Chain A
Amino acid sequence: MKDLVETASEVRVNDFVLKIANVNGTGSASANGLLMKAIFRMGVPVVGKNLFPSNIQGLPTWYEIRLTKDAYMARSGTAEFMVAMNAETYKQDLAEVSPGGFLLYDSTWPRPDLHTREDVTAIGVPLARMCNEAFENARTRVLMKNMAYVGAVAGLTGLDVEVIKELVTEMFGTKEHLITANMKAINIGLDYVREHFPDPLPLKVERMDATAGHIMIDGNTAAALGCVYAGATFGAWYPITPSTSLMDGFKSFCEKFRVDKETGEKNFCIVQGEDELASVGMAIGAGWNGARAFTPTSGPGISLMSEFIGFAYYGEVPVVLFDVQRAGPSTGLPTRTQQCDLTLAAYASHGDTKHILVFPANPKECFEMAVQSFDLAERFQTPVFFMTDLDIGMNDWMVPEFEWDDSYQPDRGKLLNKDELEAIEKFYRYEDKDGDGITYRTLPGVHPKGAYFTRGSGHNWKGGYTEDADEYKEVVDRLVRKWKSAADAVPGPVVRRCDAPASRAIISVGGCDGAVIEAMDQLAAKGVNLNYLRVRGFPFNTEVEAFIAEHDEVFVVEQNRDAQLRTLLVNETDAPKDKLVPVLDYAGMAANPKFIVEGITAYLDTLGDAA
């Protein structure tokens, strides 16, 4: 047995990545979540990423926990401590460990292969054997093996077992036997490493005070909570990863907050549609009828909803679409993340269509922007796309606690009530009375005077059927005016300037945020100073154009092959095309700063002296 400390290069406190390789369907998720939560409870900032296959049982999964004392919010892309629980991926997992790093494996069976890297220390713990001896039933043994590595990791890194115990107790509540069993497994791992590896690893978890006022939550749950607080009452959906947990979240919050204790009546309605066409149709029907309605989906769903989206755009029906983006069409990479639907959503449907988009970067913004999305949809009477992705939606993120202002009232837009209808002489649905492109809306059932007929393209300002070109143009010209006016109503951009003056900048979007900020720090250390603007809404706020004008060159950082954000910037601002340099990552993994640093450095290198 090698001396552990001897092989390690440096002692890293609260600054390393713990990566756990598992087989899916073995119940490892709760063990991994427990590890991350325990670190978070110790006051250490964490980034967690779950890499999982499109499969229910038997394929490899990885869970990355980055401890980041500097509170970076992205993956680092490294793995200092690998817990290799999947024999199928041993080779790959060993290869991935950073030089000087560690690999923990189940030594119930001898694994000489895992001891082949000089610069990596392999730590064998006979997890299966110990759990088989300690537990009866086969399933329990498998589950407890996960808890046993939690204990081993705790023992090796200094993770506080009391914190783990506290979490286990919260997890199982009154189920005393489960608490006992899980703690027993944890202690099996802990005792083993204490006995066999008494010297602690150079990878250390130490208490900090950097997580106070923060929570760990995934973006889909946060968005669902936003829907509840926005007063949404209707949701329709067709299951699709990675959006499913959004509706699961909405359902569970509604069960908690929206069910009448006495009558059992539900102040919400969720319909599982027969497909995405039906789901968006239902949401449009509910929006047309005055409810705040939404549908969560992913790119394939948006494709199917396309015709209806155009209908809602022309008919001016408010509805919110949550696009939890994932890679590519159908099978292959549905469980990988990308920002690949930006242009799809911006111009979704046939005919001349342009939509309002919001781009949250993390779960806190998911909560806030979900509420804003409903306000925008009703105010502008149009579909609003909430553009999130698998990384934001399905991973737990450390974010500041959500806040709520009890004085908030939904912005229902120009919605005429019974008395207002009574008072006016004649109502025309698409009459631009205020000259702002936004017309007055009525709901069925309120007043016969408010009746109108909703159609697609063929209507005039009175709401009557028309095939007259001028009448048609009048409507579509107003629609684009209305859309443009949303530029200052969508969430404004966030700008971060570096300390030194900078002639170059980054524009990015959504979940790239953490990676961009970290890349900026790394580049600044190399003398490359950059400013940064994060777009949060579409149509682009005027500030976006001004920011581009202010710089000589702007790197557009995003996660897709075709530089879709850049395309939108070229299309919708006066920015010269060659000023916008694409920096792209479309491997399907949550962003890490590496591609940004490398992309920008490579570009600057090509400029050579000219830079």
Chain B
Amino acid sequence: MTSMPKPFIDKHLPKNKLGLTVRNYEGSMSTLCAGCGHDSVTAALVQAFWELSLAPESAAKVSGIGCSSKTTAYFMGQSHGINCVHGRMPSVATGANAVNGDLHYIGISGDGDSLSIGFGQFAHAIRRNLNMLYILENNGVYGLTKGQFSAAADIGSTTKKGVPNEQTPIDPCIQALTLGAGFVARAFSGDKSQLVPLVKAALMHKGFALIDVISPCVTFNDHAGSTKSYAHTYKYYHPLVHTDFVAHAEEITGEYADDGAMRVTLHDGGELRLRKTDTDYDPRDKAQAIETLMMNGGDGEIRTGLLYLNEDMPDMHAANKLPQKPLNQLPYEALNPGKAALASLQKRYR
């Protein structure tokens, strides 16, 4: 089986600032199961990047291994992508990013990929405040290896055959908060209206931006005993903060109603407008965010939205004093000390 390009019909579709239609942001045809949450995430990504008028060559897609990690092949087919080894996407992203910070790094991972085999790399990429969008497509299982529990499975959530998980789950958002991520969000593949602005904001956030997307696995984890099923997620879905993302140009011309939203200008452009649906929740209060997630709100509801934002932390580039011009574009002359320097340097070894 080879990958299939999608039929290309875009005559009457609206164009973005680059003159591209939404079809230009698609990739090859998905080979995931019909109804898989991951495909909805792909659709949201396509929408978001089209709306942002992201130039295809300005993005680099990185992923590990899993059904989720395959997603990078299904959007932005005109961008470079690398589908590396299981759980190790963050390291590849780190190296790539270090040598060219001008690109937008879009990382896609799964709960198995990020929270088990790749837990260390996930953690350390956050600690380095790697400037990237990190989407964790979370279905509570290993889809690609046919439904084993992942480390994100809740206690009591069952397999298809009714066997409950008894181990404590790892919550990627809590982890990210304690490890110092500046942008931590949770979303649901079934709510595109929430996911699209979050993706746009996360991409424009300078630093590590995690979106943990509950993305049900219809084949292995969408049954009655599962806490990562569509039905369960719809039932307990509880948006905490409503996020709008406004590109700068629109803001200048666009309507500006005083809707009580919190406005945040992002380093890489655009403005975030956050409206709390729970009045006492403050997305700038890390302790509150952690407490809310740890206590599950006390009611088992799945709290979503931009849970925490701190846009003032130096990213890896700043911390390493990397040059304005990407390292991979520096001319050799700027890197090589030359013959004379070598001769004089060697005096110390005489």
Which A positions have Cβ atoms within 8 angstroms of B?
A: 41, 215-217, 225, 228-229, 231, 233-234, 236, 257-258, 260, 263-271, 273-275, 277-291, 293, 307-308, 311, 315, 401-406, 408-410, 442-448, 450-456, 460, 464-468, 471
Contact = CB atoms under 8 A, between A and B. Distances in A.
A120 B345 CA distance: 43
B288 interface: no
A267 B102 CA distance: 15
A451 B80 contact: yes
Nearest to A41: B350
B120 A274 contact: yes
Interface string B159-186: 0000000000000000000000000000
B46 interface: no
Contact of B332 (A231, A266, A286, A311): A231
B298 interface: no
A275 B322 CA distance: 23
A285 to B, nearest CB: 3
Given A228-B337, A273-B91, A286 B82 contact: no
B99 A468 contact: no
Interface in B52-87: 55-60, 62, 72-73, 77-85
Interface in B1-54: 1-3, 28
B94 A285 contact: yes
A524 B85 CA distance: 54
A258 B349 contact: no
Contact of B102 (A406, A445, A468): A445
A466 B31 CA distance: 12
Contacts of B94: 236, 271, 278, 281-282, 285
B295 interface: no
A267 B100 CA distance: 12
Contacts of B98: 234, 269, 271, 282, 285-286, 291
Given A289-B96, A465-B3, A277 B88 contact: yes
B257 interface: no
Contacts of B128: 271
B120 to A, nearest CB: 5
B92 A282 contact: yes
Contact of B99 (A257, A286, A409, A446): A286
Interface in B231-284: none
Given A275-B120, A289-B95, A267 B324 contact: no
A279 B95 CA distance: 9
B339 interface: yes
A444 B61 CA distance: 10
Contacts of A286: 95-96, 98-99, 328
Contact of B121 (A233, A274, A452): A274
Interface string B291-333: 0000000000000000000000000000011111001101010
Given A266-B323, A454-B82, A468-B1, A289 B60 contact: yes
Given A234-B95, A266-B323, A290-B328, A452 B346 contact: no
Given A233-B328, A267-B334, A293 B95 contact: yes
Contact of A236 (B28, B95, B345): B95
A52 to B, nearest CB: 21
A453 B83 contact: yes
Contacts of A403: 339, 342
Contacts of B123: 274
A496 to B, nearest CB: 26
Given A215-B350, A467-B1, A468-B1, A448 B339 contact: no
B103 interface: yes
A215 B324 CA distance: 37
A215 B95 contact: no
B99 A293 contact: yes
Nearest to B89: A281
Given A266-B322, A280-B91, A468-B1, 10 more contacts: A266-B323, A267-B323, A274-B124, A282-B91, A285-B97, A401-B346, A402-B342, A453-B83, A455-B82, A456-B84
A528 B91 CA distance: 54
B92 A281 contact: yes
A445 B60 contact: yes
Given A215-B350, A289-B96, A466-B2, A445 B91 contact: no
A62 B73 CA distance: 57
21 contacts: A229-B337, A233-B328, A265-B323, A274-B123, A278-B90, A281-B92, A284-B84, A284-B92, A286-B99, A287-B95, A288-B96, A289-B100, A443-B80, A446-B57, A448-B79, A451-B77, A453-B80, A453-B83, A456-B84, A467-B1, A471-B2
B327 A234 contact: yes
Contact of A285 (B72, B91, B320): B91
A488 B95 CA distance: 31
A460 B120 contact: no
A561 to B, nearest CB: 31
Please name the 7 residue pairs, one residue from A and one from B, whose CB atoms are nearest each other, closest first: A281-B91, A285-B95, A282-B95, A444-B80, A286-B95, A215-B349, A285-B92
Contacts of A268: 327
Contacts of A460: 2
Contact of A217 (B28, B336, B349): B349
A311 B85 contact: yes
A293 B91 CA distance: 13
A269 B349 contact: no
Contacts of B78: 448, 451
A268 B317 CA distance: 11
A263 B323 CA distance: 9
